[in-house]
Amino acid sequence: MPEAALGATGDRPAIVAHGRAYTYGELDHAIDEWIEGSDAEVYDASDLALADALICVLAAARRGIAVLVENPEFRPRRSSIPESAFLLVATSGSTGSPRPLARTAASWYDSFPAFTAITGVRDNDHVLVTGPLHATMHLFGALHALWCGACVTDDPELATVVHAVPAVLRDVVASAPRLRTAIVAGIALDDGAIAAAGQIEIVEYYGSSEVSLVAARRVPEPLRLLDGVEADVRDGLLHIRSPYSVIGAPGWYAVGDLAELGENGELRVRGRGDCVINVGGTTVIAEDVERVLESLDGIVAVAVIGSPHTVFGEIVTAALELDDAVGLDVIRSTARELLTKEAMPRRWLAVPALPRTASGKVARSQVRELLG
């Protein structure tokens, strides 16, 4: 088992989820019982509830075997399992199909001290997990909390810290009166999520399933690369070399995001490279437009894509999930004051609900299919 995978012992609370509670002593015993009850060569936590899934993952760590933590409804194919593998996970981004990934225990646990320093998670915190563990940001947050000796929970009323994508954070804040810190990832923060958080401290980190943690910040500071992580921008696209990469990753991994590097390890991520929309020769970044629109009243969620156009090559299309508080005409009028004419959507579509990934991000590839 990774060194000090459990950061506390005895009667300190470890997990409170689905009406079940474990102290660290009980969790330690449950891990041993899991091992005694299964001699499988590979564990599978994919279809388990939060507490059982974490016990299964920690039992695999203790035995030194691999454990599957995948979307049970959309599993990738695996031709083999590397000998050094601990976590068998998959990509869960907004584009494309999930790809199988394998990582060692060290590729996450070695980053936990730095992550603790950035986030300020303490052993007396209750850390709220807001999505399934097969979305790796939630699995990472839960294992980090247990490493810190904190309590993992699914109860917002207990939470002092939350891991969430920005859209989920907006909803959580109202039901989490003790919340001190919000740790956000998955997509870039928008002004609306920052405003919703109020006085809650926000820590944002950037990374990917393949290279794990890359950069982090305490809002409003800029993103900065973690120690030991190197970055290079080639033709506008970000490449990362990191000790936290998955097994088999190339030395320099092309993340696929448009980015700029500044001084002192500052990193500005502009969005997915495949989210560039060429409007009459002007480059429009879909995620830049989304951030502006997400800040407007009446918009619950938005996805921006490029649509073919005979004159301009492409135009901006915005698919909106609305709350009916503000009409689409008002939204268009407000957006016109905030966006350049090239970035201004020429096509607006209101939909009942935008498709999302397990982590809560809008599934852009499905939006493209939806819009045709």
- What's the CATH code of the domain at 23? 3.40.50.12780
Q: How many structural domains are present in the chain?
A: 2
- Residue 95: pLDDT band (50, 70, 90) is very low
**Strand, coil or helix: 109:** helix
Q: What is the pTM of this model?
A: 0.81
Per residue in 302-359, pLDDT tens? 999 888 888 778 899 999 999 888 889 999 999 999 998 889 999 999 988 888 876 6
3 domain-assigned: no
Residue finishing a domain among 202, 223, 244: 223
Per residue in 342-358, pLDDT tens? 899 999 999 888 888 76
Backbone angles phi, psi at 304, to 5 degrees: -115, 130
Rounded Cα distance between 32 and 15, Å, is: 16
Angle at CA 303, nearest 5°, toward 187 and 343? 100
- Residue 216 shares a structural domain with residue 286: no
Residue finishing a domain among 195, 223, 251: 223
User: Residue 220, preceding bond cis, omega within 30 degrees?
Assistant: yes
362 DSSP assignment: B
Domain that holds residue 320: 280-371
- Residue 295 shares a structural domain with residue 215: no
262 domain-assigned: no
Rounded Cα distance between 72 and 268, Å, is: 34
235 domain-assigned: no
- Residue 90 shares a structural domain with residue 189: yes
* Two structure tokens written together for 271: 């969005």
- Residue 211 shares a structural domain with residue 292: no
Residue finishing a domain among 206, 223, 240: 223
